[in-house]
Amino acid sequence: MKVEVIPWVLLLSMQLSLAAITATATVSNTAPSISNIWITETTGTPVSSLDPATEYYIIVNVTDSNSLKDIENITLTLYNNSLNSPDSTRYHYTFKFDNDTLSFSEIGPGNTHLITADCSYPTLTNVYGNYTFAIRLNETAIPSTWVLWVNVTDSAGNKVSKNVTFSVNEYISASLDDSSLTFSGSPGTNDVPASENPTVVTVKSNVNFSIQVKGSGDFVGSTDSSFTIPLSYLTFDDDSTPSESTETGLAEKSCDTVYQILYSNVGYGYNVAKNIYWFLDIPNGILAQEYTTTIYVGVFSA
């Protein structure tokens, strides 16, 4: 009897164990891919050259068969020198999207070149989508050919990269702290300084530049235009002493209707400040009245 019972017990236990089997599917991790990279204006127009101090979108289209949740991070490196060089406003920028914190950040060179409010990421349950980095290069970014290197890393440590080239355009921006000049003095007085002295020229530029001065013509009397002061009686200098016995800096120059260079080949930079001191010789024999002209300050690439 015992002998017959054992097979039933075995069968029963087999049935019980079969009912407890669970199906397990192991999904392997596949490497992501970068389908495309676009650089566009904020209007969506694709561009291949970038103006400094202007916002652009870098759009990275990423595909991952494990869904975009699998993406660990995306790193953008924009450089003119080499990929692993340190970040700098002139040559190298690094930006990152971190999937853990779902945040965009600027690794370097500062914290003003990524406009995080305009960055966006796709629905992460999708297998592909666009990551948008809103960037703005510094005013001193070198005008040359650059590389945009994109690196995508997934949770398994798979890394893919892709790069495109673009160029950066020349940029010059200048500011003056004066919008007019005022000279007051008696006839026969030389080197009357402008009450605004000095006029400070502040320049942001990615190229070397010169600062030049010209005038539209002679100073003309506002009530009696038959009286004038020659334009050449207006002089300008880089220091407050118009004619030192031994000139310490740049020599004083006379104003003309064509540009005269005061500062030449000034190095590019951010907020490079240069002074212009103005002086006027007031000739004898002219009426007491206001005399006017227009003085041009030109800031031009060297």
Partner 1 sequence: MKRTLLFLILLFPSLSFAKLSVGISGPDMADIELPCGGRWQGYIRVYNDGDEPAQVHLYSTLDFVMLSTNLVTLNPGGSAKVGVLIIAPDREGIYSGKILARVLGDHNTVIALEVYKNVRVKVFHLFGGVGRGYASKYNMSHPPIARITEEVGRKFTIDDIREMYLSGKIGFWDAFGLLREKGVHWLKAFFLVLWWFLLK
Residues found near partner 1 in the complex (CB under 8 A): 49, 51-54, 169-183, 199-200, 202, 204, 219, 222, 290-301
CB of 292: closest distance to partner 1 in angstroms?
4
Beta carbon nearer to partner 1, 92 or 204:
204
Beta carbon nearer to partner 1, 97 or 291:
291
CB of 196: closest distance to partner 1 in angstroms?
9
| The two three-digit tokens of residue 33, written as one number | 């891919």
CB of 195: closest distance to partner 1 in angstroms?
11
CA distances from 71 to 2, 66, 152, 156 (A): 62, 9, 7, 9
CA-to-CA distance for 177 and 288, rounded, in angstroms?
A: 28
Instruction: Report the C-alpha dihedral over residues 162, 96, 167, 80, rounded to 10 degrees.
Output: -90
Beta carbon nearer to partner 1, 92 or 136:
136
Beta carbon nearer to partner 1, 58 or 299:
299
CB of 144: closest distance to partner 1 in angstroms?
11
CA-to-CA distance for 201 and 176, rounded, in angstroms?
A: 5
Beta carbon nearer to partner 1, 188 or 300:
300
213: nearest Cα among 263, 284, 147, 163: 263
**Parallel, antiparallel, or unpaired for β 219-221 and 228-229?**
antiparallel
CB of 199: closest distance to partner 1 in angstroms?
7
CB of 176: closest distance to partner 1 in angstroms?
4
CA-to-CA distance for 105 and 134, rounded, in angstroms?
A: 11
Largest Cα–Cα distance in the chain? Answer: 146
Beta carbon nearer to partner 1, 68 or 213:
213
Question: Is residue 231 within 8 Å of residue 257, measured between CB atoms?
Answer: yes
CB of 274: closest distance to partner 1 in angstroms?
13
CA distances from 295 to 185, 236, 292 (A): 19, 11, 10
CB of 201: closest distance to partner 1 in angstroms?
8
Task: For residue 186, count other CB atoms closer than 10 A to its CB.
Answer: 9
Beta carbon nearer to partner 1, 155 or 301:
301
Beta carbon nearer to partner 1, 51 or 252:
51
61: nearest Cα among 134, 146, 135, 150: 150
